[in-house]
Structure 1
Amino acid sequence: MALSATQSADADNRRATLFALAAVLCWSTVASAFKLSLQYLSPLQLVTIASVVSTLFMAGVIVWRGHTAQVASAWRQSRGWFITLGFCNPFLYYLVLFNAYDLLPAQQAQPLNYTWGVVLALLSVPVLKQTLRRQDFVAGIVCYSGVLVIATQGNLSELRFEQPLGVALALLSTVIWACYWLLNTRIGGNAAVNLFLTFSCGLPWLAAAVWWQGGWQWPPLAGWVGAVYVGLFEMGIAFLLWQAALLHCDNTARISNYIYLSPPLSLLLIALLVGEHIHPATIAGLGLILLGVAIQQGLVRRLLLRRQAPLNK
């Protein structure tokens, strides 16, 4: 019986690993998809089409899982929060993010956006009244040192930004994303239902923005393909794969570490698919950002303790 339970746990962990790696692979492709799609679409067109696709996808998932009754219940309990969250994401977050990708090379926008985890920790202090740990402070310094390296392409002596607006938008997207997840902590319930309601509340904001810009301009087929891909994989499938990984694993920290594979894979795909020459400063800056995130997550401290343990014996 014990062996059977162990085998079952091992099988669950293997499934969790496959789900997590599949999610990371999806996320690794989206920076290239953003950049390629923006050759045919405006940022507003891209976020609008992708949001509609994601909303329809989540509606299908809810129906397939038999959770339709939870939609009305969740709306009655938290409609104010869903309206607020819908403004943050998809409307404001992706509009800011796609404009950053429109102005910056993908190799710069993607690592800068990746600092959102540290921003989340910093904003948790005033919003959730949490204590700022020393590792959060150190992580912030290390991460934003990486941001400076990427933004200046390694020219730290002059601190000259080639695209200051693009850098500002990429960093602003991390603040919006962190605020979205902090607000999201106020809502419990089914994740797919919450995402469906959030995106449904974001669509009117997008429709208003399209009307304000003079109406809808029909994009070419290549633009539609890219936007549908973003809607399915960035805003839909990857989310559900990651959720499945967390449900099947017995160690969340081990699964969460797979997310660190995404930025290096993303840079490789940016070079292969988008054709960007990866600047050495981007690799150095990304290394600092990943180090900062690892410090913030406590990975560096755990690694040092493991190395010290045999010495103490």
Structure 2
Amino acid sequence: MLAVVLWATNATVAAEALRSVTALQLLTLQFGAAAVTLAVLGVCGALRSREAARETWSWRANSPGWRGLAVGMVGLTGTILLQKVSFAFAPVFDANAISYGWPLLIALWGAWSLGIAKGWPHLLLSALGMTGVVMLLGVGAEGLSLGSMVGYACAVGSAVCMAFYTVAAGRLRLRTMQVLLPAAITGTVVAWIGSEVSGAPWPPMSEWLGSIYLGIGPMAAGYLLWTVASARGRPSVIAAIGYLTPFASTALLIAAGAPVTALTAVGAILILACNIGVLLLSHSESHREPETALKPSTPELQRDARH
């Protein structure tokens, strides 16, 4: 839940930050702040426990290795980069709703894994949730330009990356520092090179605060919490909690002055209804079947939860 609270502030803060920095500058600062935060947390954990240091930074036979690195690159670097690019090209309100529609994709994955006979309730809830997201977009309100279409496509890509990360984090024994820190460093380098190539002048440091917050809060802290939750919890429950993200984020955007329409209100209600429905389904499934959630209870994950 704390990760969802942090992510809910993402769009509002990013929209304000983009008034003074470019998308690439925002990404450079965000990834950089996240990398520094993750490195400091890793060093602090290593100083407190030598065993924790070995588990955090060393590679062993049971480590996900390059698979884990690939998951981190897609889940962190891909999700954030595509999301911020979508904010730069499409209306933030619309792009935010699409990029945070990733729980719908997880619900579809759950339906596919169960089969149509058992998974049809998930399919129905996914369809309703997608309808809610479309209503949040207010389709047809402003028409589509080439730039906005690029933004919407990037928002969809961001949702796909995050859905993949949530599922993969539950299947692999991910050590958060080994996965997230390289991804944050890679994002910093890529965004910085792009920013330098664009030649846009950097604003004063006093206007960097919003971008730095996005790196420390929604990115570093949010992903650390979500990685542990994805590995320790049931995917269906995690997806249900994730449904709160677009609702909370939309509510903050509205409070910050975004326009409210009847479609927005109905869309938010549909998303909440899907959230409750998935929770009820997962609760009934847990009573009918043995617990088979993809949540390896390993010392690494226990230490990540503590640190």
Q: TM-score, normalised by structure 1?
A: 0.70
Identify the residue that residue 8 of structure 1 maps to in structure 2: none
Identify the residue that residue 278 of structure 1 maps to in structure 2: 260
User: Retained in 2: the 8 A contact 1:74–1:189?
Assistant: no
2:158 maps to 1:173: yes
Ranges in structure 2 where 5+ consecutive residues have no aligned partner: 47-51, 285-307
Give CA-to-partner distance per residue, 1:176-198, whole Å, 9 cap, x none.
Answer: 22223344445314334432233
CA distance in 2, matches of 1:40, 1:215: 15
Report the Cα offset of residue 57 of structure 1.
0.6
Give CA-to-partner distance per residue, 1:194-215, whole Å, 9 cap, x none.
Answer: 322332344444345445x345
Identify the residue that residue 17 of structure 2 maps to in structure 1: 37
Greater shift after overlay, 172-181 or 47-56? Answer: 172-181
- SS of aligned partner of 1:277: coil
- SS of aligned partner of 2:59: helix
Residue of structure 1 aligned with 2:215, choices 192, 217, 231: 231
Distance 1:196 1:106, change over 3 A: same
Ranges in structure 1 where 5+ consecutive residues have no aligned partner: 1-19, 304-313
CA distance in 1, matches of 2:54, 2:201: 37
CA distance in 1, matches of 2:92, 2:54: 41
Report the Cα offset of residue 96 of structure 1.
1.4
State the number of aligned residues: 274
CA distance in 2, matches of 1:139, 1:34: 30
- SS of aligned partner of 1:74: coil
User: Retained in 2: the 8 A contact 1:115–1:293?
Assistant: no
Distance 1:144 1:282, change over 3 A: same
Residue of structure 1 aligned with 2:31, choices 33, 38, 51: 51
Report the Cα offset of residue 219 of structure 1.
3.0
User: Retained in 1: the 8 A contact 2:243–2:272?
Assistant: yes
CA distance in 1, matches of 2:74, 2:237: 30
- Structure showing greater radius of gyration is 1
CA distance in 2, matches of 1:41, 1:86: 26
CA distance in 1, matches of 2:33, 2:135: 36
CA distance in 2, matches of 1:179, 1:280: 32
2:108 maps to 1:122: yes
User: Retained in 2: the 8 A contact 1:110–1:263?
Assistant: yes
RMSD (Å), alpha carbons: 3.8
CA distance in 1, matches of 2:97, 2:30: 22
Report the Cα offset of residue 53 of structure 1.
0.8
User: Retained in 2: the 8 A contact 1:150–1:285?
Assistant: yes
Distance 1:217 1:86, change over 3 A: farther
User: Retained in 1: the 8 A contact 2:107–2:126?
Assistant: no
Identify the residue that residue 82 of structure 2 maps to in structure 1: 96
Higher RCO (CA < 8 A, seq sep 6+): 1
CA distance in 2, matches of 1:286, 1:113: 15
User: Retained in 1: the 8 A contact 2:247–2:272?
Assistant: no
Give CA-to-partner distance per residue, 1:100-119, whole Å, 9 cap, x none.
Answer: 22234433233322220121
Q: Quote the sequence identity (%).
A: 22
Q: TM-score, normalised by structure 2?
A: 0.71
CA distance in 2, matches of 1:173, 1:237: 19
